[in-house]
Chain A
Amino acid sequence: MKKEDVPQDLGALGKITKEVCYATDESGKYTTQLSAGWDVKITALDTAWQDVEERIAAAKQKVLNKEASPILFFMEKGLMDIKILAGYTGFWQWQVKRHLKPEVFNKLSEKKLQKYAEVFNVSVPNLQTMTINEA
């Protein structure tokens, strides 16, 4: 890539910091050039986020249909999977899997609910009712 071809399409990262790209100058020598972003990868990131939004919407529907507990919704919202959630809560993965069932979730102790609430940064009542207060 030639130095003058380094793209400057402003993306989410470019608003905060420019990134270093390696490119060649007129004499073919490598040098660094700051880039504000590249349309191709901005849309790649957008595509990934669209998928996240769809997963959150699907999780919400599952909870409303009583096929899953609100933990599924908050897990998707936090971009987590069972392994990550187990890591942050300190539960075993098999426990988290059980807690995703509405009937198990409804009988969870206050203490366990509190743990999830802390990780998701919501109150216990909001956890149970799948409410998010946008802060």
Chain B
Amino acid sequence: MRLDFKHIQAAHCENGVTMSLLKNIGVQQITEPLAFGIGAGLFFVYIPLLKINNGPVIAFRTLPGLIFKRTCKALGIPVVRKKFRSKEAAETFLNECLAAGHPVGCQVGVYYLPYFPKEYRFHFNAHNLIVYGTEDGNYMVSDPVMENTSTLTAYELERVRFAKGALAPNGQLYYPKENQIVTNDQVKKGIISGIEKNVFNMISPFTGPIVGVNGIRFTGKRIKKWRDSLGLKQAGLYLAQLVRMQEEIGTGGGGFRYIYGAFLQETHAYIPNDELLEISQTFTASGDLWRTAAIQAAGIYKGRIGSQEDFNVMGDYLLEIAEIEKKAFTALKNIKWR
């Protein structure tokens, strides 16, 4: 059984799942940048002391699951979301959803995901894909970051749905409850609430020193100390981790800053305020600077450079980025919407 569903490749898995599931229920307007922006996906956090895969915890986007949740909420679309203890119940429920005609979003771990390149298969549990049918006991899978669709056996799917470790998916699945038409006015409201939420997350004084623009500045200052506090080798590993979080599959480049720039450009069709186009350019500039910083970082972890001055340059890039993004979000904050 194969549901009527169109695979669309996206930069990021959760944006892609959100976009494809919403398009599938009749939300014509939705695009990846809109899903990302309405879901207030742009973020920054660096949590010192905590480690994943023996590297620092750095994120350029909001917590997994939030983009789908916020976007659906903003557009007034009811959502079904379920986690499971039992693998059998998880599979039965999935089959029931498919039988009822719903393509379903699933949270999975990538370590056992067979179609992923081996080099990418770490224990990362916040990946998302869509199951849209069955065929000879196998499941048809639309993974938004892949160019083409894939097939998983029942066992392979069960294994990735019940991956273990941090953010274990516990078989979690989700889908929009029913078909729905969304008006342009609703999209406009969603855009405004998404931007307001993102402004809060990035520049509110209440989010503390390690989050948002403050977090970028904090990380820049920390990086300058990494050479002494961690040693050249470990510092290189940390910078490599930063670059991977910033550029690896799913970010669209420049730590999601380009997707956000695209989002602001698209909003102009709903809110004809030219300031949005200007601010979009500021995010492009920020994304470009993130990538320049990544090249500097690569020089360090490749061992081509590594003096304290090189770390200072790296740290200063982040301080500069913090200023640019502070300006951009302040400008967004000051826009009069009505």
Hey, what's the 0/1 contact readout for B241-273 against A, CB within 8 Å counting as 1?
Answer: 101100111101110001101100110000000
Most buried by A among B145, B254, B301: B301
Report if B237 contacts A (CB, 8 A).
Answer: yes
Quick one: which of B10, B249, B287 contacts A1, CB cutoff 8 A?
B287
Q: Which residues of the partner chain A approach B294 to less than 8 Å between Cβ atoms? A: 40-41
Q: Which residues of the partner chain B approach A40 to less than 8 Å between Cβ atoms? A: 243, 247, 291, 294-295, 297-298
Hey, what's the 0/1 contact readout for A24-64 against B, CB within 8 Å counting as 1?
Answer: 10001110101100111101110111010001000000000
CB nearest to B237 among chain A residues = A51
Taking Cβ atoms with an 8 Å cutoff, the residues of B that contact A are: 9-11, 32-33, 53-55, 111, 115-120, 122-123, 145-148, 164-166, 168, 236-237, 240-241, 243-244, 247-250, 252-254, 258-259, 261-262, 265-266, 280-281, 284, 287-288, 291, 294-295, 297-298, 301-302
- Stretch among A10-18, A66-74, A105-113 lining the B interface: A10-18
Q: Which residues of the partner chain B approach A84 to less than 8 Å between Cβ atoms? A: 123, 164-166
CB nearest to B10 among chain A residues = A20
Report if A22 contacts B (CB, 8 A).
Answer: yes
Report if A104 contacts B (CB, 8 A).
Answer: no
Quick one: which of A20, A43, A48, A86 contacts B237, CB cutoff 8 A?
A48
Inter-chain CA distance A36–B122, complex, in Å, is 20
Contact B145 A19 (CB under 8 A): yes
Inter-chain CA distance A18–B284, complex, in Å, is 22
CB nearest to B9 among chain A residues = A20
Q: A16-B117, A30-B261, A84-B164 are in contact. List 18 more A-B contacts (CB 8 A).
A: A1-B284, A1-B288, A1-B291, A12-B117, A12-B118, A13-B120, A15-B117, A16-B146, A30-B258, A40-B295, A40-B298, A41-B244, A45-B244, A48-B240, A79-B53, A86-B164, A87-B168, A88-B164
- Chain A interface mostly: mixed
Total contacting residues, chain A, CB less than 8 A = 40
Quick one: which of A15, A34, A38, A51 contacts B247, CB cutoff 8 A?
A38
Inter-chain CA distance A47–B168, complex, in Å, is 26
Inter-chain CA distance A80–B124, complex, in Å, is 11
A-B contact pairs, 27 of them (CB 8 A): A1-B288, A12-B118, A12-B119, A13-B120, A16-B115, A20-B10, A20-B252, A21-B11, A22-B252, A22-B258, A28-B281, A30-B262, A30-B266, A35-B253, A40-B298, A41-B243, A41-B294, A44-B241, A47-B240, A48-B53, A51-B54, A51-B237, A80-B123, A83-B166, A84-B165, A86-B164, A87-B165
Q: Which residues of the partner chain A approach B122 to less than 8 Å between Cβ atoms? A: 79
CB-CB under 8 A for A47 and B236, given A20-B10, A22-B262: yes
Report if A130 contacts B (CB, 8 A).
Answer: no
Q: What's the least CB distance linking B17 to chain A, in Å?
A: 14
Inter-chain CA distance A15–B266, complex, in Å, is 32
Closest 8 CB pairs of A and B: A87-B164, A30-B262, A84-B165, A22-B258, A12-B119, A47-B240, A44-B240, A20-B11
